[in-house]
Amino acid sequence: MPWTALSLEVAPAHADALSDALLEQGAQSVWIEPGGRLHALLPERADAPALLELAAHATGLGALPFQSYAVADEDWVRATQAQFAPQCIAGRLWIVPSWHEAPQEGVVLRLDPGLAFGTGSHATTRLVLGWLAVQDLLGARVLDYGCGSGILAIAAAKLGAVHVDAVDVDPDALTATRDNARANAVDVHALPPEQLPPGDYDVVIANILAHPLIVLEPLLAARTRRAGRIALAGILDAQTGEVVEAYAVDFAAHVAANEEGWSLVVGERR
């Protein structure tokens, strides 16, 4: 079946929200190049300008210049696959699409690009993956709050966590997490927030956005054991002060890394 490819430049701060809006309007998949260009795959008869206008309006953006053109199935697959080589995180963790051979050494996580967020292609995901890759997770209990595709939860399990819970309000995200965990032969418990059982964790990770992270501080603090670790992403560099201030109530929090205008805030529970 022929498809329509839509391509445009989008600021990093709006990339995730626009990707979600495009998917809600009928895009079959969305992905973002490391340089920030967004691509969406639409059915052949989709009205690309109207679809983009609705998605941009839903995210508070104005008119966005774009390019669109028809592609055949095999051309789209070839073009998409060519953009995604295996990624090595911190010299230890590999994110490998299914069409590539896995490296002989290191921890391998199989995940095919599809949805833009949660494939390792976004800076916020890479920041948390890089942090996880250098942590001692052997025997740890880990909570991924806002799990998306499940990539962070699966990485934690691959890196030695003994128990991993993954929470999201989106049922599709929970399904994706379960499917991806199964494909990687790891045990990840994916569930909505209201079904999360009592208990605390050695490590809590949350890759969401700055404002929800600030609101969630009491909840995430209550879920982190004393001397436990937390890692927060989805934070623009300009927002780090607000997030660090909010988490300083219960954590020794600081900015640990930056990439492409995004920051990683980490802390130890007091």
CATH topology of domain 119-269: Rossmann fold (3.40.50)
The Cα 201–Cα 220 span in angstroms is 10
CATH level 3 topology of 3-82: Alpha-Beta Plaits (3.30.70)
Q: What is the pLDDT confidence band of residue 198, given thresholds at 50, 70 and 90? A: very high
Which residue matches tokens 């999360």?
Answer: 196
Kindly indicate the confidence band of residue 250, based on its pLDDT and cuts at 50, 70 and 90.
very high
DSSP, res 193: G
Mark out the alpha helices in 134-215 (DSSP H runs). Answer: 151-158, 171-183, 210-215
pLDDT of 201 > 90? The answer is: yes
Asked whether the predicted pLDDT for residue 264 surpasses 80, the reply is yes
Alpha-helical regions (H) of 91-209: 123-133, 151-158, 171-183
Q: What is the CA radius of gyration of the chain?
A: 19
Say if CB 147 and CB 153 are below 8 A apart. Answer: yes
Reported as a single tens digit per residue, the pLDDT across 219-248 is 999 999 999 999 999 999 999 999 999 999
Residues in the chain, total:
270
Report domain extents, the chain: 3-82, 119-269
| pLDDT the model gives residue 81 | 55
98-144 pLDDT per residue, tens:
777 877 788 999 886 544 345 566 788 899 999 999 999 999 999 99
| Cα within 13 Å of Cα(267), Cβ side | 25
Average pLDDT over residues 160-189: 93
Nearest to 146, CA basis, from 123, 173, 164: 173
For 146-174, the pLDDT digits (tens) are 998 899 999 999 999 999 999 999 888 89
Cα dihedral sign, 235-236-239-240: positive
Whose CA is closest to 31, among 81, 100, 86? 81
Residue type at 35 in one-letter notation = G
